[in-house]
Chains A and B, each alone.
Chain A
Amino acid sequence: MSTVAWITLVSPLVAAALILLVTRSSKPLAAGLAILSSLIAALGAWIIFTRGVDADFHGFNWVDFGPSFTLPFGIALDPLSRTMLVIVTSISPLVFIFSLGYMKGEEGYCRYFAGLALFLFSMLGIVLADNLVMMFIFWELVGVSSYILIGHYFQKDSAADAAKQAFIVNRIGDFGFMLGILLFWIATSTSTTAGTISFAGLNASAGNINPAVLSVAVILIFCGTVGKSAQFPLHVWLPNSMEGPTPVSSLLHAATMVAAGVYLLARIFPLLSASPEAAEIIAWTGAITALGAGLLAIGQDDIKRILAYSTISQLGYMVTAAGLAVSAALPMFHLFTHAFFKCLLFLSAGSVILGMHHEQDIWKMGGLKNKMPLTFLAYCAGMLALSGCPFFSGHYSKDLIMACAWDHHRGVFWVVVIAAALTPFYMARQALVVFFGSPRSEAAKHAHESPRVMTVPLVLLSIPAIGAGWPFIEHLFFHEIGPLAEPEVPGFVPLVFLGAFVAGIALALVLYGKAVKDPLRIPLLENRFYIDTLYEWIVANVQGGFARLLAFVDRWLIDGVLVRGSATIIWTLGFALRFLQLGNIQAYAFFFGAGVIALIYVLLTVH
């Protein structure tokens, strides 16, 4: 079984390496290698899942200084990683195959598939890692895959800047993550035993760590989540990551990579639940993110950005669920359903974009439901799931989070409910503007359905988008991870939820049913609460100013005053001493004589 696990992990890496080194110009071969590796990984994942393997396979010691310090590379298979493995490897082949159609004829085709393969390898590494350092390594690799893929159209200034921003903002989150790892290591090391960074070891020693230290360490690790899962205040990179090709947005920046932050929280769940202060902060961060991003989604006009802010909002839900410290399964369940329906939404958006010849402004679309019926149906499935329509997958996971929030943390509950009300509103807005009404541009008039290589994955994804939340599926994947019993809530709560759903859609119908341009113009929302502008200002003026100041100090003070200054002093000394060279022999003779007399005097009087 360990072979299966290792093959699952490594096959995408092999594909990426082969594409890079060997098949640089053969397009079908590159795509084929990538898709094949994703299918192998999927096969391996389902074998592991169906066998219910629970094991820790030790690979090798990456660093080995004996028992006092080793950094091992190992695969941890338990219910949590098995479920996540299934999520990642089931979605990936569909996205890869979709890319065949979407990226057809595009520049950098081989580079794209190499990047996707590298990403899959890195993501599987995160899922399967059995210790924090190994996970951190793959965390960084996922970041670089994202950088490569967002920057795919690197000749566009916006794409180049977006990729750079994504990497750096993630790095800022990783700053906290790394400090958290070091803190956990030192907190678990005593004079006799070495510190531990393995999940098993850390989760077991949750009770032994000083509570204050534990909270700080959990918050630091949470910083990694804030970066990777685009929580406030490190959320700014995710909407800009939409510069990448749409399949990339669907796989990385909706379903899997950004979910890694939530997965991390689930992995360290025993530590999280042992520190209530940390959990509180986590829950509130998630709630604020959910609400803020939901509001921002209303003001966006780009089809992908609406979905991006929706993703941030849903990630906020997952983070809140983790912060409620009820069970590791709670955030994971929403991660599960979200992965399917959000990926579906992005892929259908990709289908729309392709049909519209790469036009992304929703106000230039319209009436596409007749031109692109399959895409429309897939989109509806995703949209209803996201909005929490009963019977669809999203309903079950969102409902559960609401109920647990009501039960555990009333304040967070109200914030999250308002966010839940916004979702159907902006999603219906998007649906109405894009698919209904009459075409508002030439491209919309001539739009056509996408080829089968793209619509088949859409249809296939619709199935879990609808059904992934149903009780028996939830039981199959989650009953071993943690308890997911729905707590007792007063009857009006689910009704509020349902009412919000209906009200949101109704309001959208009213505002956008026949709209040709957006009736709702809120500058605060359109400018994304001015947070992006604030960050730009800070980078240019605070950081830039600080850097320029230090450069000035280095050039003029340290180099100028100290180094060149000391050189100048010596030069001046030499210049002054020059005046002793009078050229007059008699003057020299005089100095000579005076010196001799002084010497004789000293010698005679010293003793």
Chain B
Amino acid sequence: MKLILPLLIAIPLAASFFIIAGANPRRTALWAALINLLASLLLFSRYDLHAGGWQFVSEWHVMPKYGINLILGADGLTLTMLLLSTLVTFAALRVAPKIAKQEGLYYVCLLFISAGVIGAFSSIDLLFLYSFHELALIPTFLLIGIWGSGDRQSAAWKATIYLGTGSFVLLIGLLALYLSIPANLRTFDLRQLEQLSLAGNIHPAAWIYLVLLIGFGSLVSLFPFHSWAPPAYASAPAPAAMLHAGVLKKFGLYGLIRIALPLFPEAMQQLNGLLLLMLIGNILYIGYVTVAQKRLDWTIGYSSVMHMGYIFLGLASLNLIGVNGASLLMFAHGLSVAAAFALCGEIRQRTGTLDYAELGGLGKVTPVLGLLFGFVALASVGLPGFANFAGEILVLFGATAYGPIMMIPVVVGVWGVVVSAIYMLRAYRNIFWGPLVSRWETLIDITPTARWSVILLLAPLMIAGFYPQFILRMAGTALHH
């Protein structure tokens, strides 16, 4: 049991190895992803809710003198994120179209992202947390640059360098945190850091929190560090966009929950105003920028940036309700945006365009695609019945409970729901409703493979939407401060 987490990381890497050695790329990758999905479901069900805390822990000593060791473990929040990652990976691999050039490298990149993400979420050691994230980041450069569409090369460069800079800032923050601990107690082990913080032995300065916030924030496209996201998602091939927007982006928020919340309580309170300003930028400013978009890929890209504002609002509320809501929203948004990009890719494959002016009336010829997209659109708009609503409403309650300073962010947050309805329904109406444009009369509806991949993503979304406790009681074990 203990070894399942390392296996979850090792299996995609081993599969990559097999692919490089010549095995069928798509099949090998799909098998690896399926095994990972089943393993993470197994872990999810075997987690002991009463005991809580870190379970399935495995440790390898690397540099014990400096407190750097490869420690993998999972608590409720980790398992939720792992479930998200494995679901999206499997769906993304299934939705991948036939690749003409360098198919092996394509699947190897996707598998590396999967391994990196799993490693990042299950690392208890901060340095390895960071390193696994870097492992997951580099393949996106290749994916966008080689197999992307549109202005892919400049998008790939911009995204990678921007995210690399953000990671670098994050590294500075982590090292500063490490160095602020008295020399004999220094460690990167999160569990020990939490103990030290509770015991009052470490008081990291507020500026370290700011650096961490900016570092993690750029990884999550926090306003104003968001410019990399829309072009990257617009140009990325669908599986890459699904993995990046759905899973990789959540890493920054996960990092903040793990590191900032337990270790920087006063700093977070002090700098909460700044965070609130930034997330209002995400929700309101980016929300209206999304309204101005005329293409589906840009709309979804900007909309995913907008919804990060809500998760940050949950974090900023600094209470159980808000942070739980943020965790649920991470899970929900990951699934819904992955489904959105999957369907976006399907539309692009069939029509070659995602421009609202050129599409129209597709609901007649591709009804199932339309139905699925309708579900995804309504989920992202925060319709009850999908987990997104549950997450958002908890975030709003949590924020309200914080204090009067939250009045404006909460009003902005609720208005953001209206704005997201505006652009999402406009997208749906312009693509699927209205008279059928004659160019699209011969389109084929969505294939069963893609159909079931999207349903695989939508089903947990609806289950958690009808019964959020299912996810909340898991994620909640991690968050009892």
Contacts and interface: CB of A to CB of B under 8 A. Distances in A.
Interface stretch (A58-66, A91-99, A259-267): A58-66
Contacts of B426: 164
A185 B421 CA distance: 25
Interface stretch (A33-41, A133-141, A487-495, A513-521): A133-141
Interface stretch (A175-183, A332-340, A447-455, A530-538): A175-183
Interface string B410-428: 1100110110011001100
Contacts of B435: 155-157
Contact of B418 (A60, A138, A172): A172
B425 A69 contact: no
B363 A154 contact: yes
A547 interface: yes
A178 B290 CA distance: 23
A563 interface: yes
Given A65-B324, A171-B421, A182-B396, A563 B227 contact: yes
A184 to B, nearest CB: 10
A157 B294 CA distance: 18
Task: State which size class the interface on A falls in.
Answer: 35 or more
A180 to B, nearest CB: 10
B400 A63 contact: no
B441 to A, nearest CB: 13
B320 A547 contact: no
Q: Specify the main secondary structure of chain B where it touches its partner.
A: helix
Given A550-B292, A563-B158, A161 B469 contact: no
B270 to A, nearest CB: 23
A257 B380 CA distance: 24
A359 B112 CA distance: 62
B162 A563 contact: yes
B258 interface: no
Given A144-B383, A182-B400, A175 B417 contact: yes
A155 B433 contact: yes
Contacts of B228: 563
A550 B476 CA distance: 38
B394 A558 contact: no
Contacts of A506: none
A64 to B, nearest CB: 6
A546 to B, nearest CB: 6
Interface residues of B, number: 54
Interface string B273-294: 0000000000001101111110
B202 interface: no
Contacts of A551: 288-289, 292-293
A167 B421 contact: yes
B419 to A, nearest CB: 9
A450 B295 CA distance: 47
Interface string A13-53: 00000000000000000000000000000000000000000
B432 interface: yes
A54 interface: no
B161 to A, nearest CB: 8
B418 A63 contact: no
A598 B263 CA distance: 47
A64 B421 contact: no
Contacts of A544: 291-292
A185 B400 contact: yes
B65 to A, nearest CB: 35
Interface in A145-184: 151, 154-157, 160-161, 163-164, 167-168, 171-172, 174-175, 178-179, 182
Nearest to A64: B469
Given A164-B426, A182-B410, A175 B418 contact: yes
Contact of A547 (B224, B227, B292, B378): B292
A597 B463 CA distance: 74
B247 to A, nearest CB: 24
Nearest to B468: A63
Interface centre among A133, A138, A174, A547 (most CB of B within 10 A): A547
A547 B224 CA distance: 17
A65 B158 CA distance: 42
A480 interface: no
A140 B184 CA distance: 57
B467 interface: yes
Interface in B243-281: none
Q: Specify the main secondary structure of chain A where it touches its partner.
A: helix
Contact of B292 (A172, A175, A548): A548
Contacts of B422: 168, 543
Contacts of B288: 543, 546-547, 550-551
Interface centre among B292, B320, B389 (most CB of A within 10 A): B292
A71 B390 CA distance: 10
Nearest to A177: B414
Interface string B313-346: 0000000110010000000000000000000000
B418 A171 contact: yes
Nearest to A165: B425
A486 interface: no
B417 A69 contact: no
Interface in A537-563: 543-544, 546-548, 550-551, 554, 558-559, 562-563
B393 A154 contact: no
Contacts of B363: 154-155
A460 interface: no
B428 to A, nearest CB: 8
Contacts of A546: 288
A473 interface: no
Contact of B425 (A136, A140, A164, A174): A164
Interface centre among A136, A174, A182 (most CB of B within 10 A): A182
A186 interface: yes
A562 B320 contact: no
Contacts of A562: 224, 227
Nearest to A138: B384
Contact of B227 (A71, A154, A161, A559): A559
B436 to A, nearest CB: 7
A261 to B, nearest CB: 18
A444 B324 CA distance: 63
A116 to B, nearest CB: 17
A61 B390 CA distance: 13
A574 to B, nearest CB: 14
A133 B389 CA distance: 11
A548 B293 CA distance: 8
A64 B472 CA distance: 8
A369 B154 CA distance: 71
A140 B162 contact: no
Contacts of B468: 62-63
Contact of A186 (B385, B401, B469): B401
Contact of B434 (A65, A133, A155, A168): A155
A174 to B, nearest CB: 8
A160 B433 contact: yes
Given A161-B429, A168-B418, A175-B417, A65 B320 contact: yes
B425 A185 contact: no
A185 B401 CA distance: 9
B361 interface: yes
Nearest to B410: A182
Interface of B: 158, 161-162, 224, 227-228, 285-286, 288-293, 320-321, 324, 361, 363-364, 378, 383-385, 389-390, 393-394, 396-397, 400-401, 410-411, 414-415, 417-418, 421-422, 425-426, 429, 432-436, 467-469, 472-473, 476
Given A136-B384, A155-B434, A554-B285, 7 more contacts: A69-B397, A138-B384, A154-B363, A155-B433, A164-B425, A182-B397, A185-B400
29 contacts: A62-B468, A63-B468, A65-B476, A69-B320, A69-B397, A71-B393, A133-B393, A136-B384, A138-B384, A140-B384, A141-B383, A144-B383, A155-B434, A161-B429, A163-B429, A168-B425, A182-B410, A185-B400, A186-B400, A189-B401, A547-B292, A550-B288, A551-B289, A551-B292, A554-B227, A554-B286, A558-B227, A563-B158, A563-B227
The 6 closest A-B pairs by CB, nearest first: A160-B433, A547-B292, A551-B292, A137-B384, A547-B291, A154-B433
